[in-house]
């Protein structure tokens, strides 16, 4: 076998491995019912965006997967986690708000008592004049 044949075989092997990796990632995302996007596939496979568009086998598989997911509604797991964190934060802030309202009510009662006390002292001072 010549060096040229070895290089051609090596390139075919590498190309087939890339195709397998890309298709496996597509299948994995389908099974996990995740939204398939080229950007997510590039992150998972370390292949270029162009590879997913230029390679005919991968492109056909990608188009089929996208067609299968056409009418599905996907929920971003990251967004769900962020929403839950925000809900907990809102609940915590509402709790703190209620505590602050109670403190304000207590202070208003104290102010009212002090005003009555001050009025009494003023009246007794005026009577003593």
pLDDT band of 126, cuts 50, 70, 90: confident
Instruction: Give 59's contacts (C-beta < 8 A, 6+ positions apart).
Output: 52, 53
Domain ranges of the chain: 3-68, 75-129
pTM score > 0.75 for this model? no
Residue 37 φ then ψ, to 5°: -135, 150
The string of pLDDT tens digits covering residues 93-111 is 999 999 999 999 999 999 9
């Amino acid at each position: 076998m010549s060096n040229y044949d070895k290089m051609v075989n090596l390139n075919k092997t590498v190309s087939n491995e890339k195709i397998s990796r890309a298709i496996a990632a597509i299948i994995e995302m389908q099974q996990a019912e995740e939204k398939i996007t080229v950007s997510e596939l590039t992150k998972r496979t370390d292949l270029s965006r162009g590879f997913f568009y230029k390679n005919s086998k991968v492109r056909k598989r990608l188009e089929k997967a996208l067609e299968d997911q056409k009418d599905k509604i996907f929920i971003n797991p990251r967004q769900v986690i962020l929403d839950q964190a925000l809900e907990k934060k809102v609940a915590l802030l509402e709790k703190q708000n209620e505590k602050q309202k109670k403190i304000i009510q207590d202070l208003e009662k104290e102010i009212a008592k002090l005003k009555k006390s001050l009025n009494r002292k003023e009246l007794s001072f005026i009577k003593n004049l």
